[in-house]
A = this chain, B = another copy of it.
Amino acid sequence: MTENPDLREYWEASSMLLPSISIDCAIFGFHDNQLKILLLKYKNTDFFALPGGFINQDENLEDAAARILEERTRLKDIYLEQFYVFGDKSRRFDKIHHQLMSGSGLKLKEGHFLLNRFISVGYYALIDFSKATPVPDILSDSCQWYDLETVPSLIFDHDAILNKALRTLRSNIDEKLIGLNLLPETFTMNEFQNLYETILGEKIARSNFQRKVLGMHILKRLDKKITGGAHKAPYLYSFDNKGVGK
């Protein structure tokens, strides 16, 4: 197996990185009532992982997270939120790193920074997956969207990271949905309810949903949607920025 020169560079650049700290990103994608998660598959293995990376010595933590998101999706200026720091002492993945790297044609020497214990800062994002262009990283041969119901099992502790991200996304849904640009400028109550239900992964009674979101004072009711039968046309809504924030 020959050594990959890009990877040798990757190795040599590790002194420019903050030691012992990584970033893992749960990038959720929504489109047409589907909720997906972006995963990488490591080269020449069946190992799947959340996208992630490291922090340059001269880079803000937030900027590193935004850079990783942009590298994997080509999207800029996406809302990313820290949701948890994973810091168990068991987070030392030397064996699996040896295996992963050998899949990419690299032998990790003793003392390589990847063999240390890492603390990982988890970020999540929720984007319209139809607007993203998934790009594999240097160690992976695919970067794709997976349905949450059929997500493969992940390496390291990434199953736990994904679960925690999903729980946080769901429990923050009321605060976070506004402004994430997952709906068109104007939308029907039905479209809004579908977004909620897709993210929560469960059905909500229509009357309960209406009472709840109207009570949040975040919506502005506009004209009716123009359809064939005007008397059955649903109202259109937009987010009422004046009402946002408590």
Contact residues of A with B, CB < 8 Å? 18-21, 55, 57-62, 64, 82, 84-89, 117, 119, 121
Q: Are A55 and B21 in contact (CB under 8 A)?
A: no
Q: Are B60 and A121 in contact (CB under 8 A)?
A: no
Complex Cα–Cα for A82 and B21 (A): 16
Q: Are A87 and B58 in contact (CB under 8 A)?
A: no
Q: Are B117 and A87 in contact (CB under 8 A)?
A: no
- The 5 tightest CB contacts between A and B, nearest first, are A61-B87, A60-B88, A19-B19, A18-B20, A60-B89
Q: Are B82 and A117 in contact (CB under 8 A)?
A: no
Q: What distance in Å separates the Cβ of A80 from its nearest Cβ neighbour in chain B?
A: 13
Complex Cα–Cα for A60 and B117 (A): 11
Assess A85 versus B85: contact at CB under 8 Å? Given A18-B20, A19-B19, A119-B61: yes
Copies of the polypeptide in the assembly: 2
Could you say which residues of chain B place their CB within 8 Å of the CB of A64? 87
Closest B residue to A246 using CB positions = B171
Could you say which residues of chain B place their CB within 8 Å of the CB of A59? 89
Q: What distance in Å separates the Cβ of A70 from its nearest Cβ neighbour in chain B?
A: 17
Closest B residue to A122 using CB positions = B85
Complex Cα–Cα for A59 and B86 (A): 13
Could you say which residues of chain B place their CB within 8 Å of the CB of A82? 84-85
Complex Cα–Cα for A60 and B86 (A): 9
Closest B residue to A21 using CB positions = B119
30 examples of A-B residue contacts, CB within 8 angstroms = A18-B20, A18-B117, A18-B119, A19-B19, A19-B20, A20-B20, A20-B21, A21-B21, A21-B119, A55-B87, A55-B119, A57-B89, A57-B117, A58-B89, A59-B89, A60-B87, A60-B88, A60-B89, A61-B85, A61-B86, A61-B87, A61-B88, A61-B119, A62-B87, A62-B88, A64-B87, A82-B84, A82-B85, A85-B85, A85-B121
Complex Cα–Cα for A228 and B178 (A): 53
Complex Cα–Cα for A84 and B83 (A): 8
Could you say which residues of chain B place their CB within 8 Å of the CB of A55? 87, 119
Complex Cα–Cα for A20 and B62 (A): 16
Could you say which residues of chain B place their CB within 8 Å of the CB of A88? 60-62
Could you say which residues of chain B place their CB within 8 Å of the CB of A87? 55, 60-62, 64, 121
Closest B residue to A82 using CB positions = B85
Complex Cα–Cα for A62 and B84 (A): 12
Could you say which residues of chain B place their CB within 8 Å of the CB of A61? 85-88, 119
